[in-house]
Amino acid sequence: MLARPASQSVPHSMSAPSPDPTEPRCPGCGAGLAGFSDETCTGARCPSCGFVVVTTNFNRSSFDPTRYDVWIHGGTKDRPAIIVSLANALCIGVVNARAILDTGAPIAQSVSAVEVERLARILHDHGLALRITPPFPWPLD
């Protein structure tokens, strides 16, 4: 291989690739950062030197400012079974559960996403589903 004088530059195609300026780099060693996220936090970690930066994960239902209305959806249950299930789920008695179904009123109005999740768990345990407006963007497990 021929040696080049120091005054000659290396052709661009032979030079090492330059890092992408939009890719986050570790301030400690310059390596690329790997992102991570969980329920409560999000951040970046350097696989080379261990540098970590973490912040609150705002992509969660507890930070959702939207207010929701929630209605009962009985699925394949017949009306008496829906009334009994609703009465038991919300501890409101059969008369009040029937009144809610008769009026077509939501069981909850202008509630937070966290409250929708709570209601979904309770109602699901009693075999009932929800109809939510506006559309609910969070998973209801």
Domain ranges of the chain: 29-59, 62-133
Q: What percent of the chain is modeled with pLDDT above 70?
A: 85
- Which tokens sit at 125? 């345990």
Q: Which CATH architecture has domain 62-133?
A: 2-Layer Sandwich (3.30)
pLDDT digits (tens, 9 = 90+) for 111-121: 999 999 999 99
The whole-angstrom separation of Cα 12 and Cα 53 is: 34
- The pTM score is 0.62
Look at residue 18 in the predicted model and tell me its pLDDT. Answer: 52
pLDDT digits (tens, 9 = 90+) for 34-84: 988 877 788 899 999 999 988 887 777 888 999 999 999 877 789 999 999
The whole-angstrom separation of Cα 87 and Cα 81 is: 10
